[in-house]
Amino acid sequence: MNTNTIAFPNLGLGPWEVNKFLIQAGNFKVAWYGIIITIGIVLAVLYTIKRGKQEGFTTDDVLDYAIWVVLFGILGARLYYVAMTWGRYESFLDIFAIWNGGLAIYGGLIAGALTILFISYKKQKSVLKFFDMVTPGVMIAQALGRWGNFFNAEAYGSILKYEFLGKTFETSRFAGQAIPWIMTIENVNGSALYYAHPTFLYESLWNILGFILLNIRYKNKKFDGQILFSYIVWYGFGRMFIEGFRTDSLYLGNVRISQLVAVGCVIFGIMFYHLLRKKAKPVLAAEQDAQEYESLFSDKPAKKKKSSAAKSAEVKPAVKQTEETTNGTTDEPETKSKTEES
């Protein structure tokens, strides 16, 4: 199905006929999903260029990163998804059909991070500075990218149950009128009408809020890596709970993989955030002590230098005066004798 009918009946929004493709001409198709992902990537790159000026990276530096990070990020996102859903593909070409959806964000983040590490090593650039620059941009790209899921009528959640790390909770009592923002989808998976949580919207709003908070934090950044690990904790925390509603999760046994990874991100992010902050404190304290010392004692050397200069300035006229006096004393007898002779 290329067209689905989507509505938010309790909010009086819709229904809308949503087509996956913006352009369809025979076998040539341009999907909304691809367009939205592309716009998100462009916004992320532009944001990183702007932040680069603050962190000492030129536009050329950022573009050198962007070309390879985008390429390997998309490849990693697709390979991660394919590896977890290997039995779904009828042909080899289906593996590359990303216009039908199927990009796992964690795969993209892992591949992108490894690419950044490699390029930073080759260019002798600070990897933590670059991660701080790029992560808010990644978050706004993710927020926008979730609307590609809207056009594909995917990444929605069940209103009947909720799962958390293998535990299932019955949530049908919250169905129907009890959820103001409930979404309905028609013609998806052969269903005439399907009630769902708009989990794509939940994550989009969570990422927009995260983008705002990360930019506020950037103004008072204390150490390199602070924005990176703030992002990891924020995104992981939100994804950990939102993932429990989704109907299209990838599983490891009876545990949702994305939920498990999200829990790991929160723990990992908090741990490394505090390690970096602790490491940065002595440096900041030493710099502060140095500044205080300089403000207290910087005048004394200056005074000494000034007094030495003054002394030398005083000595020179004295010497000069002595010489003149000596010369004058020496000349007087000659003048006197000449007068007597005359």
Is residue 278 within 8 A of residue 189, CB to CB? The reply is no
Beta pairing, strands 21-25 & 28-31:
antiparallel
Tens digits of residue pLDDT in 178-202: 788 889 888 755 566 788 899 999 9
- For 90-111, b where at least 16 C-beta lie within 10 A, e where not — what string? eeeeeeeebbebbbbbbbbbbb
Alpha-carbon span 284 to 277, nearest angstrom:
10
> To 5 degrees, how large is the angle CA 161–CA 167–CA 170?
25
Q: Report strand pairing: 194-196 vs 183-186.
A: antiparallel
* CA–CA separation, 189 and 170 (whole Å): 23
What is the reported pLDDT for 303? Answer: 45
CA 75 to chain centre: 20
The pTM of this model reads: 0.75
Q: So what's the pLDDT on residue 336? A: 42
Cα–Cα distance, 203 to 140 (Å, whole number): 11
pLDDT, one tens digit for every residue, the chain (342 residues): 688 889 998 888 988 888 888 888 887 888 898 899 899 999 999 999 999 998 889 999 999 999 999 999 988 888 888 887 777 777 777 777 766 667 788 888 899 999 999 999 999 999 999 999 999 999 999 999 999 888 888 888 888 888 999 888 888 776 655 788 889 888 755 566 788 899 999 999 999 999 999 999 999 899 999 999 999 999 999 999 999 999 888 888 889 988 999 999 999 999 999 999 988 765 444 455 555 555 555 554 444 444 444 444 554 454 445 444 444 444 444 444 444 443
User: What per-residue confidence (pLDDT) applies to 139?
Assistant: 94
Token digits of residue 111: 């591949």
Structure tokens at 14: 């819709």
Q: Nearest-CA neighbor of 245 among 202, 302, 194, 184? A: 202
